[in-house]
Every structure is written in structure tokens, then in C-alpha cells.
Amino acid sequence: MGRGASTNSIPEIENARFLFVIGSNTTEAHPVLALRIKKAVRNGATLVVADPRRIWLTKIAKRHLQLRPGTDVWLLNAMMHTILAEGLQDEDYIRELTEDFDAVREIVVRYSPEDAEKVTGVPADAIRATAREYATERHAAVFYTLGITEHACGVDNIWSLSNLVLMTGHLGYESTGLNALRGQNNVQGLNDSGANPMYFPGYQPIEDLEIRRKFSEAWGGAELPETTGYRLDQMMSGLHDGRIRALYLIGENPAQTEPNAHRVEEGLGKLEMLISQDIFLHDMTRKHADVVFPASSFAEKDGTFTNTERRISRVREAAPLPGEAKGDREIVLLMAKALGASWPEYPDAESVWNELADLAPNWYGVRYDRLEENGIQWPVTEIGGEPTRFLHAPRPARAGGRAKFFPVEYQRPIEEPDSEYPLVLSTGRTLYHYNSATMTMRESGITDKQEDPFFEISAEDASALGLGEGELAQLVSRRGVLEARAHITERVYPGLVWMALHFAEQKVNWLTHDVGDSLIGTPEFKVSAVRVEPVGTGVRPAAR
């Protein structure tokens, strides 16, 4: 479509008339934004949720499409099959504002809802009903997050969602679009500012000669790389083959958050130098870090955050830095200076922002003094220009003003159940903890609710294993083993077990495999084959 961001704004959710939430446990991962979805439903909107688990939103949804993990492409292609079969596509939009639609048409015609039911487990009638409702409601919006992207076919999943949006013309106006719910408070801002191996700030390609020339001149004639850098998955594999000999981590704990974590830890142990810039010591820093730079928390920062709706907001220091801790900008500048770089001083956050705005067209009109009130949504390409509430109006932002369809075939998950590992393991987050839980495990009010590692299992599977509620069990995969307490629940169907990533003492990523998406390398956290073995060491209530 031409922009790497959610298309629409958070307040627009309340006025949507159809909401399709796929691969997002919104009330636990994005609880404040989920309030808008709840309000939309109270206002009469239709909500359909596609997720392998029963989540809170399924309680208020008109329909729950409980698909098997990793079968999103089949489901979405079958929805598009229905739309085409019933003539519900927006032919005017397709003809005037898109390209390559025929390639998608040729593929989805082979994905009937009846065949989709066999692969996904979702009834054909439910697929047809959802497709009709989405296609015929003008104010229909799609919301997704890691349940879509954390697959070896993650890019295919996104292309499929994009195809669905473009086919129906649900783009470029209020309460529609394709909306990625960002997983952390500044993921969007981090990518916007160039923390990406493929781009300079503002999504400007590193391999473009004119772009390199522009940044080189702005940075005092600096010699800049001509090719893209390593993705995260390539960095992790580079720990083992000698490509990565030193690692500088800023607020990151790959020993817990990356897949096949035993192998990650083995690689970290081979490093000649590991620097960790963080606000707390944790398991990884104690085991592997040579140097720890005490950094600043959100309450001690000055600068900007950019949220999931592209809103750039000012952040002000609310508490002084403790002890010898320093602000992140100061640490990075001191590090660069120690390495011999002749960078400008950048005396404050405003000076950094001004450089970004000068060099990146999307932010040129976002001057620092405009961020004082409620922030501003990019793109703003002219000084004094208006913020952009929703993208792609009147035309898609892609060069030429035409969005591109991408035909997508279903590919099976990398690892599927067999006689030795008969269950599918999927992973995620809970309401009570955040990522590797290095912050939230310190809070007694939270750990009272969720301190012990637990996993969810169906009553049918638990009965077959002779496993009772709260009993300790081993989860075993081809890569590792852990112990956790069983929570027997209807949230997962027979054949599926689920576990959160938050528990450092029993890391679920010991079990996950590290084969990722072929284009961008995102690992398949949502589908790994495991078996469950009762341990029988006593019963304690499992966390809920």
C-alpha cells in the first residue's frame, strides 16, 4: 500500500460497523485499545474474532472463527473466494486504484470454504457469513498483531489481509483499513527513526544511491553502507558462525524472547563482548553481559514516542535518573565518541528530532513545537500541514498511486504434530506481564496472580494424560523441555496447548523452533510440536 503503519486512528474504532480481529488477544495485549472495540460493539457493531483460542473478545463477538494455528492464509483465501463467487468485490476500486488483481483471482478461486473447513477447522458457513458481512459493510476494519506475524508465513498472512482489504475497497476513509496493533509503546517510532537493517530514517532504502548521498551530506560526508544489514534472525545465527563477535543490546533480552532459546544462549556464550543497556539486571545480563550500562526508564526519558496510530507524542522526564544511570541518547553518544566517531553533540531530544524531520519527508512538517498538546499523526509533509488521521486517501501511497495485490498460496507450518510430539504449542502474552517480565515480575501485586509458569490444556487432553488442574507437567519438544503447571480450560481445543513467554525460570522459547519467514525472518512462535508428560510432584493452583 505504500506505508509501513496502521492505516486508521484509534478513535475511529468506536464508529466502525464491522470489526474483524484476527491473531490478536486484544484485551490482554492492548487492554486500553480494546475498550474502543468493546464500545463499538455496544454501539451496535458486528465483531468477528479469528483466533485458535477462546479469548475475552469471543464473549462479545457475533462469531468466533476458531482456526487451527498457521492456517490463516487458507481462511482468508476462502473469504476472498466467497466475495468473488458472490460478486461482492469493489470492481471500481480494483480497476482505478490497484494492480495485479487477476493473479489473486486465479489463486483464490481454488480455495473453497468447504475445503477451507477441512484445513482450518472453521465451518464453511461461518467463513461465508463473515466474508459477506465484511464485504457489504462500508465501515469495516481489520485489526491484527503477533498472531498473524509470528509465523514462517507471516508476510503471506499480511499480504492476504491486504488483498482482502483492497478487494473490497475498505481503504482511504474513516473506520476502515488494515490496522497493526503495535506490541510495545514505541515500536512504530523505533522503525520510523531507522532502527531497521533495510532503511535510513523515514523508511528510505539504504540501497538507493541518492538516499545514501543525502544522508552522507547531512552527516558530514560519512561513509555509509551500500547494502542492508543483518535481520535479528541472521544476528542470532551469526552468533554461531563467527559473523557476530560483539553484541550491543538496548532494552532487549534475546535469551528469553527469541526462539530455540538454548541455542541462543549457547551463541551468547561464544561472544567476545556483550554490552547490555537496560534498567534492571536480569537472568541474561547476569550470565552473559561483560558490561551493563544503567539506562533510563520511560518515566526518566525526554523525547518522543510514536504509537500504533502514528501519533508522535512528547515524553517528559517525570523522575530524576537514579545513581549513575544516564539517558539513552547520552549513552549512545558517549559510546560513539569512545569509538572515535565525530558526531554532533545533539544536546537535547529536540535536536535529534529536528534532524529526523529535515531528512525524512513524512515528518518534515512535524516540528517539535507542534507536539506540545496531543501529539500529531504522520505523515505531515509540509510546514503547517494537517496531521493524517487515516492513510491512502484519495489514493494509495504506493508509487503511482496504485496498491499492489500479492497472490498467496497456503504453506503448511514448518513443524506439525506427529506420534512423538502429538500436540501443537502456541505462545503469547497475558494481561499481568509484559514481554520478558523483567519489570512486571518485580511487582508483588502482579506476581501474586501469575508467578508460577503455567500452560493451558483442554480437558480432553488432560484426561487422556491423567493430568489434573494445577499439577506439574513437562512440556517437551525437539529442542528442549520445561516444567509448568497445567491449567485445564475451554480456551484451547483438543490438540492445542498454549503458554506465555514471561517466565524466565521455565522459558517457553526453549521449546519453539527458529525457522522464520523467508523474506523478513520473523520466527514461527505460534506453531511448534510438543508432548506433555505428567510429573506428579503435587498440586498447586495454576495461574489464570
Q: Would you write out the chain's pLDDT as a tens digit for each of its 544 residues? A: 999 899 999 999 999 999 999 999 999 999 999 999 999 999 999 999 999 999 999 999 999 999 999 999 999 999 999 999 999 999 999 999 999 999 999 999 999 999 999 999 999 999 999 999 999 999 999 999 999 999 999 999 999 999 999 999 999 999 999 999 987 778 899 999 999 999 999 999 999 999 999 999 999 999 999 999 999 999 999 999 999 999 999 999 999 999 999 999 999 999 999 999 999 998 899 999 999 999 999 899 999 999 999 999 999 999 999 998 999 999 999 999 999 998 988 999 999 999 999 999 999 999 999 998 889 999 999 999 999 999 999 999 999 999 999 999 999 999 999 999 999 999 998 878 777 667 766 776 655 567 789 999 999 999 999 999 999 999 999 999 999 999 999 999 999 999 998 888 889 999 999 999 988 899 999 999 999 999 965 555 554 4
Go through the domains of the chain in sequence order and give each one's CATH number: 10-180 (3.40.228.10), 187-377 (3.40.50.740), 423-539 (2.40.40.20)
H or E stretch at 108: helix 101-108
Residues ≥6 apart with Cβ < 8 Å to 258: 232, 236, 264, 509, 514, 523
Indicate if the alpha-carbon torsion angle 390, 394, 397, 398 is positive or negative.
Answer: positive
CB 435 within 8 A of CB 502: yes
SS3 label, residue 178: strand
SS3 label, residue 333: helix
| Phi and psi, residue 536, nearest 5° | 70, 45
How far is CA 487 from each of CA 49, 436, 468, 532, rounded to the nearest angstrom? 23, 21, 8, 13
**DSSP bridge partners of 200:** 204
Q: Distance between CA atoms of 164 and 83, rounded to whole angstroms?
A: 9
Q: What angle do CA 136, 14, 96 make, to 5 degrees?
A: 40
For residue 133, give the C-alpha cell.
458481512
- pTM across the whole model: 0.95
Q: Comparing C-alpha atoms, which of 440, 436, 458 is closest to residue 449?
A: 440
Q: What is the per-residue burial (b if ≥16 Cβ within 10 Å, else e) of 283-298?
A: bbbeebbeebbbbbbe
Give me the pLDDT at residue 539, please. 52
Residue 390 DSSP class: S
DSSP per-residue letters across 396-451: -SSTTS-EE---------SS---SSS-EEEEEE--SS--TT-TTGGG-HHHHTTS-
Residue for cell digits 512528547? Answer: 314
By the 10 Å C-beta count (0-12 exposed, 13-18 middle, 19+ buried), 223 is classed as exposed
Which amino acid makes up residue 129?
A
Q: Comparing C-alpha atoms, which of 40, 43, 1, 57 is closest to residue 22?
A: 57
CB 443 within 8 A of CB 432: no
Give me the pLDDT at residue 544, please. 44
Q: Distance between CA atoms of 531 and 420, rounded to whole angstroms?
A: 7
